[in-house]
Amino acid sequence: MKLGEFVAQNGIPLSRTEGQYVFRQGEQDTSLYFVKTGLLKAYYLSADGKENIKSFILPGDHIGSLMASHAGKPCSFSLLCLRPCELTKLPFATLYEAVRTDPEISAAAVDFLLNFAMKKEIREYELLCLSAEERYRRLMENTPDLLKLVTQNEIARYLGVTPVGLSRIKKRVMA
């Protein structure tokens, strides 16, 4: 993919150890991050201290705060490394600039965004239409490997239930 080359040439390598943040909710971070190795979680922290996990980010995936990069607002979520990570950091402005001047990059960006939008639609569908149990079943089918990489606590926060709730769902599903 042409976009991959662009990122490799214009991005800045970045290492993070387990437990380090890439950025925190409320901060201003206008870069995109492409994951070479490692594992991260993007999560919202509510005013009353509840954590909700937006997504897990695996090698080959990418992440960044659209709110911060494109709308000039603070990041609405935090990005934390669950494993040591090798990332490539690309300032959003660099890509946005390239979109205006390089047609090939621009077309690649459109593809990139189309895929991104489709993923978001699927997640929206799952949250709107499926029960927590159905979401858990889907996760088991679609990304069973993820279940081994993160704690059940985190799976729960990703599915939109508490760890206690997920434990009950598991029992029910296995029976």
Q: List residues binding its own copies (CB under 8 A).
A: 44, 46, 50, 52, 54, 66-67, 70-71, 76, 96, 99-100, 103, 106-107, 109-110, 113-118, 120-121, 123-125, 127-129, 160
Strand partners, 12: 89
Residue 31 per-residue DSSP state: E
Least distance between its own copies and beta carbon 91 (Å): 15
Name the residue among 21, 59, 36, 22 with its Cα closest to residue 145. Answer: 59
Query: Site size for DNA, by CB under 7 A?
Result: 19
Token reading at 138: 């889907």
| One-character DSSP codes across 89-100 | EEEHHHHHHHHH
- 83 touches DNA (CB under 7 A): no
Residues 131-160 that bind DNA (CB under 7 A): 131-133, 151-153, 160
Instruction: For residue 68, give every residue at least 6 positions away whose Cβ sits within 8 Å of its Cβ, in sequence order, or none.
Output: 27, 28, 29, 30, 74, 75
Question: Based on CB atoms, which residue is closest to DNA, 79 or 169?
Answer: 169
Angle between helix 163-174 and helix 132-142 axes, rounded to 10 deg: 70
Distance, CA of 6 to CA of 1 (rounded, Å): 9
Interface characters, 4-43, with DNA (x: CB under 7 A): ----------------------------------------
Is residue 167 at the binding interface for DNA, with CB under 7 A as the rule?
Answer: yes
Chain contacts with DNA (rule: CB under 7 A)? 50, 131-133, 151-153, 160-171
